[in-house]
Amino acid sequence: MNRHTRFLGFAALLGSGLVLGCEAAPAPKSPADQAAAFHEGRCTAQAGDRAVAKVLDGSAVERVEPLYSTATSNKTTNPRLLGAAIEVTPVRGETAEWLARALECHGAQQVMLHASGGPTKSDPFFLPESMVEIDVASAADGYRVTVSSPSVAEANEILDRARALTRDRAERHEGPTASFEVR
């Protein structure tokens, strides 16, 4: 067997392994599949919507700000919207880790509901066609919840939904105003 024949045999073996390896790669999971896997592996009954109701209805939300990432190149800073930073008041006994898990589970549940045609809530912790990134950290006397997506369009939607939490709260809490006659 000469060198050329051995090389062709090796190349054919390597080529077939690459082709077979590509065929064996799993197809990308849909957002609903990702949500179901997350929910099954990490969510419990204690992490239901009732546990984070005050965040979801906006009553625990103190402030919402845009969340940016900045890239610097050639002495130029280019901010890019990632989503929203939401400051919330804590509930007695909850930790940042617990709040993060509860909000992630809420988001996964909402994605699954959307995929099955069920009713969903419009909040920043889920998007119908993707899973969002949720991080929670202690901040002064509350928590800073960051909700982000790699897509700028989705980041804008997250920010709009987060701002709606505070708008809705202001509209609910506004009562009749008093007027006084000054003499």
Domain count within the chain: 1
Give the span between the Cα atoms of 35 and 37, in whole angstroms. Answer: 5
Whether residue 40 is contained in a domain is answered as yes
User: Which residue reads 């999971």 in tokens?
Assistant: 29
Residues 6+ apart with CB under 8 A from 37: 29
Whether residue 126 is contained in a domain is answered as yes
Angle at 8 between CA 3 and CA 9, to 5 degrees: 100
Q: Report the SS3 class of residue 6.
A: helix
CB distance 87 to 143 below 8 Å: yes
Residues 6+ apart with CB under 8 A from 162: 61, 64, 83, 84, 86, 124, 147
Which domain covers residue 109, as residue numbers? 31-171
DSSP 90-115: PPTT--HHHHHHHHHHHHHHHHHHHH
Per-residue pLDDT of the chain (183 residues; tens, 9 = 90+): 555 444 444 445 445 554 444 455 565 578 788 888 887 887 876 656 777 889 999 999 999 999 999 877 777 878 899 999 999 998 888 899 999 999 999 998 899 888 888 888 889 999 988 889 999 999 988 999 999 999 999 999 999 999 999 875 544 444 443 334 444
- Residue 128 CB neighbours (<10 A): 14
Which pLDDT score, from 0 to 100, does residue 81 have? 95
Whether residue 78 is contained in a domain is answered as yes
Nearest C-alpha neighbor of 128 from the set 146, 109, 145: 109
Whether residue 1 is contained in a domain is answered as no
Which pLDDT score, from 0 to 100, does residue 47 have? 56
- Strand ordering across the sheet containing 133-139: 61-73, 76-88, 142-148, 133-139
